[in-house]
Structure 1
Amino acid sequence: MAKRGAYAKGVVKREEILEAALEIIGQRGYRSASVREIADAVGLSPAGLLHYFGSKEQLFVEILRARDEHDSRQFPDAGFEESLVEIIRHNAQVPGLVELYTRLAAEAGDTEHPARAFFLDRTATVHAAAREAFLAEQRAGRIRADLDPEWIIRAGHALADGLQNAWILDPSIDMAADIERFFTLLRP
């Protein structure tokens, strides 16, 4: 029974850490926020904080996972296209998380990096949802029937990620508007 209580407390503390990290990194940035600052926000030492994640890299992966879970709850069931545009619009409000995502996405190219499995799983999940939505829209006649869903999904994903990279360099770019233009090109 004691293990159960300790486990439950550990889960709660881990969630507290992720909430603090989302806020701190979202507003201050990946490079400006330190493990010490996140640890201080939740009353832990840096070593104590990393105990919950194993490593700094795994902490960052879990921050991105938590960000995705928040986005899913904040922008539910509006339809794939609408949800994606709203998430991208929201991303402009949390520049540090966009920076963290782009950095870890690049580092995930290393087969040994802790973020690799996260990005592979995330891509499979996002592409499956996009495929389902795309095919439903094609059947309903709202997306051109001559378009190959797999190619459009890859191109759309590359566009979204590329826009985030460009936006980091030039925050005047309206990522959501560019994604909306892309969806317009898919219509009959």
Structure 2
Amino acid sequence: MDTFAARGYNNASLAEIAERVGLTQAGVLHYFRSKALLLTSVLELRDQSDIQQLGPDRPQGLAFLRHLVDTAIRNAEREGIVRLYAVLSAESVTDDHPAQDYFRDRYDGLRGFVADALREACGLPDDGSEKVGHAANAVIAVMDGLQVQWLLAPGAVDMAASTDLVVNALLRTLAPDRFGADG
């Protein structure tokens, strides 16, 4: 994780990774057939640790949106994980990047979770309205953008407070009768 986070996928060497874990390159490749498989395994490990913290049931509606704010709080204590995610998600847009499918699928799933939570919290029907989809995209974009800003200037960025502000503003926009139009 540390090597991919510090150097990105293309600049991380198997030799450095092997040295850091006390194996030879052949030893690393024994457990992970390729550098690409090692990368996707690291990303899956990151997701599994986040899923374990949720417990057996994923929160729904407003509870899921609050979970996103809690995730921002937790991320402020996990600089290495945040850096790994920020570097690799940005790198994944390049041609033939081994994590491109992972991030594409992850964003698809996350957009669905956030849209469902917004709909449920606001009491909106699942009628195919694009507005909720745009709001879900905005929440994800804010969270990812805040991570980059926080990595560059941790003392100047409160990821949780900013995420909370945006979530609340979107709730008021989508359901002013339920959440109040003026906050």
- What is the match of residue 88 of structure 2? 104
Normalising by the residue count of structure 1, what TM-score does the alignment of the two structures yield?
0.73
Could you tell me which residue of structure 1 aligns to residue 21 of structure 2?
39
Opposite residue 46 of structure 2, the aligned amino acid is R
Match status 1:56 vs 2:31:
no
Identical columns (%): 34
Aligned length: 156
Q: How far apart, in 1, do the equivalents of 2:153 and 2:69 lie?
A: 19
Using a 3 Å threshold, how does the CA distance of structure 1 residues 152 and 64 change in structure 2: closer, same or farther?
same
- Give the drift of 1:37: 4.6
2:76 to 92, 96, 120: 92
Q: Distance in 2 between matches of 1:147 and 1:123?
A: 17
2:99 corresponds to 1:124: no
How far apart, in 1, do the equivalents of 2:72 and 2:26 lie? 34
Report the equivalent of 2:163.
179
> Displacement, 1:138?
1.7
Query: 2-side partners of 1:62 and 1:80: how far apart?
Result: 26
Whether the aligned pair in 1 keeps the contact of 2:36 and 2:98 (CA below 8 Å) is: yes
Q: 5+ residue gaps in structure 1?
A: 1-20, 141-145
Does the aligned pair in 2 maintain the 1:75–1:86 contact within 8 Å? Answer: no
Distance 1:74 1:54, change over 3 A: same
Larger relative contact order (Cα-Cα within 8 Å, sequence gap ≥ 6): 2
Q: Which amino acid aligns with 1:169?
A: L
Give me the CA root mean square deviation.
2.6
Note if contact 1:29-1:96 (Cα within 8 Å) is conserved in structure 2: no
Q: Aligned in 2, Cα 1:121/1:167: closer, same or farther, shift over 3 Å?
A: same
1:30 aligns with 2:5: yes
State the Cα deviation string for residues 88-130 of structure 1 (Å, max 9, x = none): 2111111111111111111111230001010011011111111
Residue identity opposite 1:95 in structure 2: E
Secondary structure in structure 1 of the residue aligned to 2:101: helix
Rounded to whole Å, the distance in 2 between the matches of 1:37 and 1:81 is 41
Question: Residue 70 of structure 1 is aligned with which of 27, 49, 52?
Answer: 49
